[in-house]
Amino acid sequence: MGDIKNVIELKGVTKDYGDFKLDNVDFVVPEGSVCGFIGQNGAGKTTTIQLILDAINRDDGEIYLFGKSIDEDSASLREDIGVVFDEMGFHDFLTAKQINTIMKNVYKNWNEEKYFEYLKRFSLPTKKACGTFSRGMRMKLQIAAALSHDAKLLIMDEPTSGLDPIVRNEMLQIFREYVVEEDHTMLLSSHITGDLEKLADEVIFIDGGRIVLKGNKDEILEKHGVLRCKKDELGNISESLIVSAEISSFGAEVLINDRKATEKLYPGMVIEPAGLEEIMIYYVNKAKGYKMSER
């Protein structure tokens, strides 16, 4: 049985499509945290989310939400989950007002007052067909709906993708407010690592259907670093410290998995901090099977 302190728990989850396989995925999302689910397009983020939501059947493994198996009572579990997808889930001809009427019949905890407050805050028209909305307006409408039924868990798949920086910043502010409220948890899938650096407590990197790295975001950023050196110096660095390296005519850039140990062993070498995007790129290169890649 899953531990209630973990809002999401996946154990050995597998889904094989033939041309793509989500392979033995394990991770947990602790209560009250923002978990960034990072990977390039096609890495398996959306498949994992669909499995968590019981929208598709898994081939193997176990999934728990709020400590309960999704096989037991996925309908009642959905009451506590708000979902925001890359593509809008509402029919284009519906107005925000009509969506309110539908949602009242879907969720027991639907809060009409809160929903209309969000519409007002987001400057969304109530009587206009949502198919006419811009991408930013569509995302805001989904978020308004997701936050208006007292959801304890918010699952979002690329919610800020394709939005301009001003709207993206506004979205991040809304997400921060949501998480500050008691017991709220968020799984935020994105390839925009800058958003996750601002917001996430935990991060999970997925590539080619496999988890390649997971843990506390600050610890991952603190632990990793980019070392720049001459090509002929690369052979001196212990392989156990190297995630992967890029070699160019100018020299080598190496992602190191233990900055403190590297600094002690090689005091003359310069190691710079690595962002989540750099870390993701180097781990993807490693997963492709080439530790040293020519650029």
Residue 188: pLDDT band with limits 50, 70, 90: very high
Question: Would 1 be classed as within a structural domain?
Answer: no
Question: Would 238 be classed as within a structural domain?
Answer: yes
Segment among 34-43, 65-74, 107-116 with least mean pLDDT = 65-74
Do both 202 and 253 map to the same domain? no
| Per-residue model confidence (pLDDT) at position 172 | 86
Residue 4: pLDDT band with limits 50, 70, 90: low
The more confidently predicted of residues 8 and 270 is 8
CA 51 to chain centroid: 15
Kind and range of the H or E element at 30?
strand 21-30
| Per-residue model confidence (pLDDT) at position 289 | 58
The more confidently predicted of residues 279 and 248 is 279
Structural domain span for residue 81: 6-219
Cα separation, 153 vs 241, whole angstroms: 37
Which residues is 28 bridged to in the sheet? 9
| Per-residue model confidence (pLDDT) at position 193 | 87
Q: Above 50 in pLDDT, residue 1?
A: no
Do both 252 and 148 map to the same domain? no
Cα separation, 248 vs 135, whole angstroms: 40
Q: Which of 200, 219, 238 is the last residue of a domain?
A: 219
Q: What is the mean pLDDT of residues 176-202?
A: 87
Q: Above 50 in pLDDT, residue 190?
A: yes
